[in-house]
A and B are shown apart, each in its own frame.
Chain A
Amino acid sequence: MEEKLIEFIIDEFLDDPDTEITQDTKLISSGLIDSFSLVSLQTYIEQEFGKKIPAPRITAESFDTVRQMVEVINQF
């Protein structure tokens, strides 16, 4: 799941496809992606993993790293 999320994030949000991202790279707080793009992530998670995460659980704080995202996703 982590790898797929990283691949999606690089493809969807970043201009440079060679950017290195790990599970613990800070994505939103670093300004790498903006919090407005969280909706794309929400849709992707639903389509790819079949998990419907309610919008209040997807925030700039709870979804700052891929590791955090997986933690939230696994609760559903």
Chain B
Amino acid sequence: MAYSNQTRLSYQNILKEIEDNGLYKNERIICDRQGAEVKVEFPAGSEQKELINMCSNNYLGLSSHPEVIKAAHEALDHRGYGLSSVRFICGTQDIHKELEARLSTFLGTEDTILFSSCFDANAAVFETLLDEKDIMISDRLVHASIIDGMRLAKAQHDTYKHSDMKHLRKKLEMYQDRPRKIIITDGVFSMDGDIAKLDEIVALAEEFDAMVFVDDSHATGFMGQKGKGVHELCDVMGKIDIITTTFGKALGGASGGCVSGRKELVDMLRQRGRPYLFSNTLAPTITMATMKVLDILEASTERRDKLEHNMKWWRKELSEAGYIIVPGDSPIVPIMLYDAKLAQLVSKDLYQEGVFAVGFFFPVVAKGQARIRTQLSAAHDQKHLDQALEAFTRIGKKYDILGKTKQDLIGT
């Protein structure tokens, strides 16, 4: 019989184990648009609560922007709802080609190809471009989607210690004889919010004749003076062979992603990229709304400037309040608590105090590295940040976290 009691029981046991370990995820239901403030129902059926959202990737506050929504409406009117086709059959519209060209210009690359998500983009890249004689050398903290993408490839894979350029050099020396070498990194790392040393990586790549791959999902739109990404920030535009990024964070937050880079590499993905060949084309609404986002970003840097201002303020105030935060220059600000239980308690209390921020612990981050990851947005006004800071300060005092060292907190 399909799905026997035995099979059902086996999964129930796994789910119970997840629950017993305190790792069961419950969704919080937002009865609202995404924004700096959201109405949340948690648990389901309870009264809705208005919260300040400190955990979205809505970095530029564009996820509910009226112009972005208007562009999506126009797309529905002029290009329909869906194409019901993969790109290479009858799923390519003029707007897809236009968006690809716009992204190439924005990112400073030769060509761009769209995907349903950056997860799909990362799944396509390595399997398509590399064979069993090649080597992928990745930072140890790359995103899960890159890890999954590398698993699909026939090329061998090795890693270097996080952001450790000496160790990367050692690996490049070790694999000098491989026909193709590719260095793989996030632009901004999603758990610590730190930034890849792209200038040093590019220098090493040039020395050892390696390609460079960067997933800039937590950077496109706001890192660098014009928001082009970490390659702009590190002054290596035009030197990154493959950039992948998402439209599901700063660039509108719906879905979609792309690979942007060297012409031949992009063309290879069009010819052989499995997610491209076997998955539906990007919806017209997302395509045209993403172009509107690019219009907004190219017209003015005010949003990324406000985000930078918010980020600097938040980092300074949290540190002065006595929290340990991972230092850096990105709007991802992890507040280190180390202990998983403490992270869960703080997150729960924050919720009661009207702040939406989630605790991260093993296996999402290494054991003993639990944190509350806060994320800033250009949608945050000063009043939101003031209120959030007050809540964090009250809770910090309640659990006696403020002004403590890592050792103190681990002992808690």
Query: Are B159 and A39 neighbours in the complex by a CB distance under 8 Å?
Result: yes
CB-nearest residue of chain B relative to A55?
A: B156
Query: Are A36 and B362 neighbours in the complex by a CB distance under 8 Å?
Result: no
Query: Are A40 and B159 neighbours in the complex by a CB distance under 8 Å?
Result: yes
Query: Are B174 and A36 neighbours in the complex by a CB distance under 8 Å?
Result: no
The 8 A CB mask of B137-172 against A (1 = contact, 0 = none) is 000100000010000000011110100000000000
Give, as a whole number of angstroms, the nearest-CB distance from A59 to chain B: 14
A31 within 8 A of partner (CB): yes
The 8 A CB mask of B272-288 against A (1 = contact, 0 = none) is 00000000000000000
Query: Are B362 and A31 neighbours in the complex by a CB distance under 8 Å?
Result: yes
A34 surroundings in chain B (CB, below 8 A): 140
Give, as a whole number of angstroms, the nearest-CB distance from A33 to chain B: 10
A39 surroundings in chain B (CB, below 8 A): 156-159
A/B interface sample: 21 pairs, CB < 8 A? A13-B161, A15-B161, A31-B362, A31-B366, A31-B367, A34-B140, A36-B140, A36-B147, A36-B159, A37-B140, A37-B159, A39-B156, A39-B157, A39-B158, A39-B159, A40-B158, A40-B159, A43-B156, A43-B158, A43-B174, A47-B174
The 8 A CB mask of B188-202 against A (1 = contact, 0 = none) is 000000000000000
* Secondary structure of the A contact surface, majority rule: helix
For chain B residues 360-384, which have a beta carbon within 8 Å of chain A? 362, 366-367
Residue of A31, A36, A37 contacting most chain B CB atoms (<10 Å):
A36
B161 surroundings in chain A (CB, below 8 A): 13, 15
A40 surroundings in chain B (CB, below 8 A): 158-159
A37 surroundings in chain B (CB, below 8 A): 140, 159
Interface residue tally of chain A, by bracket?
A: 10 to 19
For chain A residues 6-56, which have a beta carbon within 8 Å of chain B? 13, 15, 31, 34, 36-37, 39-40, 43, 47
CB-nearest residue of chain A relative to B362?
A: A31
A36 to B147, CA, bound (A): 9
CB-nearest residue of chain B relative to A13?
A: B161
A31 to B27, CA, bound (A): 27
Give, as a whole number of angstroms, the nearest-CB distance from B229 to chain A: 26
A47 surroundings in chain B (CB, below 8 A): 174
CB-nearest residue of chain A relative to B150?
A: A36
A59 to B367, CA, bound (A): 21
A39 to B147, CA, bound (A): 13
Give, as a whole number of angstroms, the nearest-CB distance from A68 to chain B: 21
Give, as a whole number of angstroms, the nearest-CB distance from B358 to chain A: 21
B362 surroundings in chain A (CB, below 8 A): 31
Q: A34-B140, A39-B156 are in contact. List 5 more A-B contacts (CB 8 A).
A: A15-B161, A37-B159, A40-B158, A40-B159, A43-B174
A43 surroundings in chain B (CB, below 8 A): 156, 158, 174
Give, as a whole number of angstroms, the nearest-CB distance from A40 to chain B: 5
B158 surroundings in chain A (CB, below 8 A): 39-40, 43
CB-nearest residue of chain A relative to B157?
A: A39
A34 to B1, CA, bound (A): 38
Give, as a whole number of angstroms, the nearest-CB distance from B138 to chain A: 9
The 8 A CB mask of B167-184 against A (1 = contact, 0 = none) is 000000010000000000
A13 surroundings in chain B (CB, below 8 A): 161
A39 to B140, CA, bound (A): 12
Give, as a whole number of angstroms, the nearest-CB distance from B322 to chain A: 25
Give, as a whole number of angstroms, the nearest-CB distance from B272 to chain A: 24
Shortest Cβ-Cβ A-B pairs, 3 listed:
A31-B367, A39-B157, A40-B158
